[in-house]
Amino acid sequence: MANLIDIRRRIKSVKNTQQITKAMKMVAASKLRRAQDRVVAARPYAATLEAALASVASRVAPAADGTPAHPLLGLREEKRVILVIVTGDKGLCGGFNANVQRAAGHFVRDAKARGVESIRLVTIGRKGHDFWKRRTFEVVDTRPGIFSRFSYEDAAGIAKALSQRFVDGDVDAVWVLYNEFRSVISQIVRTRRLLPIELPAASSEGGTDYLFEPSPAVILDRLVPRNVEFQLYRILLESNAAENGARMTAMDGASKNAGELIDSLTLTYNRARQARITKELIEIVSGAAAAAG
């Protein structure tokens, strides 16, 4: 009897867990739809902004001493680096957060191998904050809980602080590690250099000569900071959509596994109950036969 009671309790417990995972899947699916729409809308703007920046930068000659047209475009040897690690605020999303942390470890080892002397961190997301605060790395900025309700202003604030450090010479490069959203079941860990800005090759526009108002130098001064801010904003959008996709997939798998476990436990319960009934019938028949004899 005790065995049957334990099995019934286990079935009830798994059913309760399945209800939770199904609810979490539905919540992640609703958030994913909005996050995916924001990512899809941001990607063309980000690409166009980079192309416009490359076109304007090609028309601004560097100074005679080799100084770049804008301080954020200055490429120099990487000795002091800041790594921005973008994770989620919550777990239960498969390997979403663990993959980023593992990639960060690989980045640090590779950076040390190529001669980087100092690596400092900026953590975005609660999981990254909790993971790296227990390590020996210096964390210059942390933003736990940012994805509960983040906006362009949040990304702009982080980008401005990083840009200021780069302009002041505090760091030689800023890299970002994040999950790029590909589909509901696919997220790819990306490593991207945020500073100095990597400009795509300017397209040949058929030799057309444009008149700029204001001058290309003034436009460049406005475009470069905006590009850094928006590229970081797009990265946060990508990570947010990827997190919801990973959680939706993980909770769907958990719900299916719970269903399979319920079926297995139900089969075990029915077999145990049938065996108990059969045993009781045998005892009754044996007792009756003994009494008749």
Q: Which of 242, 192, 252 is nearest to 87 (CA)?
A: 242
C-alpha 267/C-alpha 263 separation (Å) is: 6
Task: State yes or no: is 118 an active-site residue.
Answer: no
Report whether 115 contacts 133 (CB < 8 A): no
* DSSP code for 206: T
Q: What DSSP line would sit under 45-80, residue for residue?
A: HHHHHHHHHHHHHTTSPPPTT---SSGGG-----SE
C-alpha span between 21 and 18 (Å, rounded): 5
Nearest-angstrom CA–CA distance, 42 and 226 = 14
Find tokens 């790029």 and name the residue.
Answer: 180
CA pair distance 122, 82, nearest whole angstrom = 7
DSSP alpha helix (H) spans, 117-215: 126-132, 152-167
The single residue of 28, 69, 82, 93 carrying the catalytic annotation is: 93
The catalytic residue positions are 93
